[in-house]
Amino acid sequence: MKKKLFIVATLVFIAFAFTSCEKTCKTCKQVTYINGSYDHEGSSQEYCGLDLAGIEATPDVTIGSTRTAWECN
């Protein structure tokens, strides 16, 4: 029983160790289009982890003929 607990604890530790070093980051900015043509953009900033996931999940905002979207690379 102790051996099984030790193995499980070791596997959990290894899983956390590898995922904590892994960092997915992208540089994102908000870009505005009017009638489908580029108008202007905000300054770029680097986002990682949950912040990046939130930005990538954010839908475009369209008001009339103006559309604002997040673009990441």
Indicate the number of domains in the chain: 1
49, 11 contact by CB (below 8 A): no
CA distance 50 to 7: 30
Give me the mean pLDDT over the 11-19 stretch: 55
On whether residue 2 sits in a domain, the answer given is no
pLDDT in tens, 29-71: 999 999 999 999 999 999 999 999 999 999 999 999 999 999 9
Residues 6+ apart with CB under 8 A from 73: 26, 27
DSSP letter assigned to residue 36: T
Q: Identify whether 11 is part of a domain.
A: no
Give domain status of residue 42, yes or no.
Answer: yes
Under 8 Å between Cβ of 14 and 4: no
Q: Print the domain residue range for 46.
A: 27-73
Domain for residue 1, yes or no?
A: no
Q: Which residue(s) pair with 69 in the sheet?
A: 31
Output the six-digit token pair for 49. 């982890």
pLDDT for 66: 98
pTM score: 0.66
